[in-house]
Amino acid sequence: MTPIANDTFLRALLREHTPYTPLWLMRQAGRYLPEYNATRTRAGSFLGLAQNPDFATEVTLQPLDRFPLDAAILFSDILTVPDAMGLGLRFAAGEGPRFERPLRDEAAIEALRVPDLDRLRYVFDAVSQIRRALMQDGRQRVPLIGFSGSPWTLACYMVEGQGSDDWHRAKTLLYSRPDLMHRILAVNAEAVAAYLNAQIEAGAQAAMIFDSWGGTLADRAFQAFSLDYSRRVIALLKREHAGRRVPVILFTKGGGMWLDAMADSGADALGVDWTVNLGEARKRVGARVALQGNLDPAILFAPPHCIAEQARAVLDDFGPLRAGDRVGHVFNLGHGISQFTPPEHVAALVEAVHAHSRTLRS
């Protein structure tokens, strides 16, 4: 078992006591960092970066070299899986992701298959390379998180072919041909489970499922088309590897009203966005799961003293942690960090979270 110098992140996910609240930030390696932009220029494009394990390793470590963050997250994207299914991913400059061959008819949906994982070899190679790069003086600096999109969130992009404000095509299919939507989701669930298990085999020490668009669904549709398939993925995951438990985090953006059902999904922790009060969420989930979140990323535009105040308020909302409580909190943003965030503001956030959370422990 590789010794980990700072394992507070894994311990908090497993609801064990930690001396302070660990934190990492969604999209912590990204365009707000000048060093990321420099590497991206050398790589030629975002996909050039993500598909080259040397570049992916370099940018994964960049935020850790700047800030004392408590976890590393694999640098990749959720859309690598549909790309490997043959949908043809590209990123048009300044426009976000696009699929060349979205799922637009019954024949395309019938032909959809779990991809050959060899086509995602570059991701697993990046995971093992990042694990090696995290070693310092015989110990791993912090744990490495692997991730995937949820079956539903991937289906949104696969049907729509790109991002959307209302997921018009995906929802039309869901309500008019639920059988076809279920077929996509069943293939996705199997693919996501295999993809995450391969990341775990390669060295990912926690797995996060990004259900970014689950919160756009109606009640009932959420349970049937998002949560049921995330649950199916979680049930298929390898939960123990190289002598350690591999915790699973399920994050549904906009899913605050479904926390009770999500707490029984089999996940070890639930990610929550900024619409949720952490103290109330803690009461609702009890000792079933840990919580991860939930600062509004827009707070990082304000000056450092405002950031510190808002970070303390989030920690106070979660409330005090006593040894033996069997609760856990991982501090994070409620969604990805904006590219317009000044890096010094992130430094102020990390400092405030570490300092204030020590005062809430007994």
Least distance in Å: CB of 340 to ligand CP3?
A: 11
User: Could you give the residue numbers annotated as active site?
Assistant: 27, 31, 40, 77, 157
Nearer to ligand CP3, 46 or 122 (CB): 46
Whether residue 13 contacts residue 21, with contact meaning beta carbons closer than 8 Å, is answered with no
Least distance in Å: CB of 195 to ligand CP3?
A: 13
Residue 321 is given by DSSP the state B
CA distance 256 to 60: 29
CA angle 20, 75, 139 (to 5 degrees): 50
* Helix 151-160 and helix 178-202, axial crossing angle in degrees, nearest 10: 120
Nearer to ligand CP3, 25 or 314 (CB): 25
Nearer to ligand CP3, 97 or 256 (CB): 97
CA distance 196 to 146: 7
The residue ranges that bind ligand CP3 (CB under 6 A) are 26-31, 40, 46, 73, 75, 77-79, 96-97, 147, 163, 210, 212, 336
Least distance in Å: CB of 142 to ligand CP3?
A: 14
H or E segment to which residue 249 belongs = strand 248-252
Nearer to ligand CP3, 27 or 231 (CB): 27
CA distance 154 to 229: 12
Q: 290-295 and 244-245: which strand pairing? A: unpaired
CA distance 119 to 115: 7
Nearer to ligand CP3, 282 or 292 (CB): 292
Nearer to ligand CP3, 12 or 333 (CB): 333
Least distance in Å: CB of 183 to ligand CP3?
A: 22
Q: CA dist 284 to 143, 144, 260, 267, 277, Å?
A: 28, 29, 6, 15, 11
The alpha carbon of 4 is separated from its chain's Cα centroid by a whole number of angstroms, namely 21
Least distance in Å: CB of 89 to ligand CP3?
A: 9
Least distance in Å: CB of 253 to ligand CP3?
A: 6
Nearer to ligand CP3, 40 or 345 (CB): 40
- Quick one: tokens of 248? 């699973």
Side-chain-facing half-sphere of 288: CA atoms under 13 Å: 16
CA distance 24 to 143: 11
Side-chain-facing half-sphere of 337: CA atoms under 13 Å: 22
Least distance in Å: CB of 212 to ligand CP3?
A: 3
CA distance 300 to 347: 10
Q: What are phi and psi of 295, to 5 degrees?
A: -65, 135
Q: Which amino acid is at 23?
A: L
